[in-house]
Structure 1
Amino acid sequence: MKSKLLAWVPARAAAVAMLTLGALGAQPAHAEFPDRPLRIVVPFTPGGGTDIVARQLAKGLTDELGQSVIVENRPGGSTIIGTENVAKSPPDGYTMLMATFAHAVNPAIHKKLPYDTERAFAPVALIGKSPNVLVVSPNSKFKFKSVQDILTYARANPGKLTFGSYGNGTSAHLAGELFKSLAKVDILHVPYKGSGPGINDLIGGQIDMIFSTSASVSGQVKNDQLRALAVTTQDRSPSYPGVPTVAEAGVPGYYVDSWYGVFVAQGTPGAVIERLNAAIKNVSTKPDFQAALELEGLAASVGTPAALGEYVKQEEARWSKIVREAGITDNP
């Protein structure tokens, strides 16, 4: 009896093994990426420049990838709240971050970030660059018509003028701080949780100026709700004909570039990153996408993941020095 039982056990095990292998063989192959909806996290409120760019990209990617791509706004904490959400998401490519200038400067300003910027993210693609624009309200009590008007008043009245930003560490903030430092003027910083509230207060006269991303104010400039006094780039912008650079308007050595780039959580498979990069490149060639970005003063310039990673490292090095010299902290 014992010998019969011992003979039965291996036979039983072999049968189970064959059934298991058969079941595994019958399973479908791993689905090709993507096989479900994706999301782009925007660390700002709806309606601002970053949100506009993200929604245009989401629209194009939906067509390109064959899956819905939704935009999820997670503002606050100088973009840290939304950025942390992506850092802690599964590394599968289904959650993307629409990063901006703040992504490169936050490590210098915030000493205790809930993520490691260099280790928590993998670059996917730079979307493009644009100037920031120094804008004022035509209805302001000061009636500023040039950068020199601002400098003259600010030097005679230190601490009396205000400039808004879309959060501590955003390009609008650092552009204003660099202006103060190079021009040697004292202007009070007023941070907002996104561009929409800041622009509304500028139009309403609650603040005096914003070094805004172009995408956030191009419409208001065209409608004469805001007046563009200068662009922050080294060269003049074709989107603002006749508008000088800040450097040529009276602050030598001044320049700031705004940029938009897509990141995913570190550990995302390389093949998935390449798929997303290729899809973004294809979207960037579409006339409707290019036209939409041009309306916001942004030129599409999609490169490789490695190129975005290197660009961000250069930005981090430059702004770390500026932040340190200006004494900027996470308690403005």
Structure 2
Amino acid sequence: MRRRDLLAGGAAMLAAGPGIRSARAQGDTWPSQTIRLIVPFPPGAANDTLGRAVADQLAPRLGKPVVVDNRSGAGGSIGSAAVARAAPDGYTLLLGHIGTLAVNPAIYPKLPYDPVKDFDPVAMIASVTNVMVVHPAQPFRDLQSLVEFARKNPNRLRYCSAGNGSAGHIVMLAFLQATGVQMEHVPYRGLAQGLTDLVAGVVELTIGGAPTVMPLVNQGLLRAIGVSSPKRMASLPDLPTVAETVAPGFDVRPWYGIAAPAGTPPEIVKRLNTEINAIVETPAVKARLELEGADPTPMAPAAMASFIKSEVQRWGDLIRAAGVTAQ
């Protein structure tokens, strides 16, 4: 009986095919080596900060090093493509975000990866509230006066961003669509350059993460007038939301999450999802996220997959309507 049972089990494994056998073997032994988390942007950006916050906590939970590998270029496409081409064994992960996983397909006509087909969503990390800031010489002290002026003076106001398809750019596109106003977009190679010109009065406004723009506000170099989240930020309770002032229902927050190459064993995806969901709810990581103006957004892999599909559609429609292309 025992020999017959072994033969039957072997036959079942053969029938299952090499892919299933390989996935089971990997799932049973994973992780046995260092894991790479590819961040497709330079060190120091919000993507990098959030990626390292997760990597630092994930390593002790898995018992293996988790190394952050910055591979920037082409709006995050270079690093994302590297993950899409990697072996689906759980040892190469992507720190993806709204740009790489939702916006880029509409920006780059020859994108070297498909955000839906080439990745298995693993876990969401956070969504980030953006703060709208204006030059203090401008008369706008609130969102209402800004919108009223823009309606009377189409394309008179200029807003800067970190480039076509950047998080700040698409948040502003959504703001313009929701309010029905027109402004001129001035793209830069990074928001730092744009903020320099904003402080100098070359452009009139921008929208960006709180850690990036609020130090300039606190120095009196810029004025903050509103936030992009549906609720006011706990750290900036006096700043009204776009939704409560000029565009009911407005909720546009860049988001960040972890993805793996398509075909990664489900057991590995499930383990990573469980660990990362727990990580983003720990006090230490919550505090680090709050510094970035970010809120934890734990999500199951299936829910994340549906969310990404909806975001690809949402931003693709808006970007094509606006005629935005890569710089």
TM-score by length of structure 1 reads 0.79
Give the residue type in structure 1 aligned to 2:324.
T
Give the residue type in structure 2 aligned to 1:47.
G
Match of 2:62 among 65, 82, 89: 65
| 1:229–1:290 distance in 2 versus 1, CA, 3 Å | same
1:77 paired to 2:35: no
Give the Cα–Cα distance (whole angstroms) in 1 for the partners of residues 210 and 254 of structure 2: 8
| 1:143–1:62 distance in 2 versus 1, CA, 3 Å | farther
- For 2:121, the equivalent position in structure 1 comes to 123
Match of 1:316 among 287, 312, 326: 312
- For 2:322, the equivalent position in structure 1 comes to 327
| 1:144–1:38 distance in 2 versus 1, CA, 3 Å | farther
Match of 1:147 among 143, 146, 168: 143
Give the Cα–Cα distance (whole angstroms) in 2 for the partners of residues 204 and 181 of structure 1: 28
- For 2:18, the equivalent position in structure 1 comes to none
**Correspondence list, 1:296-315, <5 A:** 296-315=292-311
Match of 1:236 among 219, 232, 237: 232
Give the Cα–Cα distance (whole angstroms) in 1 for the partners of residues 132 and 81 of structure 2: 30
1:261 paired to 2:262: no
Match of 2:110 among 109, 112, 118: 112
State the shift of 1:217 in Å.
3.7
1:76–1:82 contact (8 Å) kept in structure 2: yes
Question: Between Structure 1 and Structure 2, whose CA radius of gyration is higher?
Answer: 1
Q: How well do the aligned residues superpose, as a CA RMSD in angstroms?
A: 2.7
- For 1:53, the equivalent position in structure 2 comes to 50
State the shift of 1:212 in Å.
1.5
Name the % identity.
39
1:34–1:65 contact (8 Å) kept in structure 2: yes
- For 2:167, the equivalent position in structure 1 comes to 171
2:209–2:292 contact (8 Å) kept in structure 1: no
**Correspondence list, 1:166-315, <5 A:** 166-214=162-210, 216-217=212-213, 220-221=216-217, 226-252=222-248, 254-315=250-311
State the shift of 1:119 in Å.
1.0
State the shift of 1:266 in Å.
0.9
> In structure 2, the residue corresponding to 1:229 is in which secondary structure?
strand
In the alignment, structure 1 segments of 5+ residues that lack a partner are 1-28
1:42–1:98 contact (8 Å) kept in structure 2: yes
Spell out, residue by residue over 1:136-185, the C-alpha distance to the aligned partner (whole angstroms, 9 max, x if none): 344xx425322234334434544343222233223311121222233333
- For 2:5, the equivalent position in structure 1 comes to none
State the shift of 1:268 in Å.
1.6
Give the Cα–Cα distance (whole angstroms) in 1 for the partners of residues 265 and 211 of structure 2: 32
| 1:149–1:159 distance in 2 versus 1, CA, 3 Å | same
In the alignment, structure 2 segments of 5+ residues that lack a partner are 1-24
State the shift of 1:225 in Å.
5.2
| 1:225–1:307 distance in 2 versus 1, CA, 3 Å | farther
- For 1:14, the equivalent position in structure 2 comes to none
State the shift of 1:215 in Å.
5.2
| 1:62–1:331 distance in 2 versus 1, CA, 3 Å | closer
1:93 paired to 2:90: yes
